[in-house]
Amino acid sequence: MERIEAELFTDGGNDAVVRLPGRRFPGILVQGDSLHILRSDVAEVAEACERGALDEARDSAGLLLANLDALLARYEAALGEHGIPRPY
């Protein structure tokens, strides 16, 4: 394990916006439990598609998209607050 200093652009919650040394742009730190939930949400969409349950897949995909949109909005807000352009 290596200890480093990172720049923290938001509070240190489950989806902190941080910039590691040597990186031009910050990223999102996703905790392991949150990553597992995200993976489970994607698996739910895929499984519903495989079963042909398109309404269920659409609903699950909509919730997943809303969660990702919120994460992206947090990231973009942190960049804006610190005068950093978006990397995309």
* SS3 letters across the chain: CCCCCCEECCCCCCEEEEECCCCCCCEEEECHHHHHHHHHHHHHHHHHHHHCCHHHHHHHHHHHHHHHHHHHHHHHHHHHHCCCCCCC
Other CB atoms within a 10 A radius of the CB of residue 48 amount to 18
Residue 50 has pLDDT above 90, yes or no: yes
Predicted pLDDT of residue 14: 85
Whether residue 68 is contained in a domain is answered as: yes
Q: What's the pLDDT tens digit per position in 3-26? A: 999 999 998 788 999 999 999 999
Overall number of domains in the chain: 1
| pTM (whole model) above 0.85 | yes
Whether residue 23 is contained in a domain is answered as: yes
Whether residue 33 is contained in a domain is answered as: yes
Range of the domain at 12: 7-81
Section 54-72 average pLDDT: 97
Whether residue 58 is contained in a domain is answered as: yes
Whether residue 75 is contained in a domain is answered as: yes
Residue 64 has pLDDT above 90, yes or no: yes
**Phi, psi for residue 10 in degrees, rounded to 5:** -135, 180
Whether residue 88 is contained in a domain is answered as: no
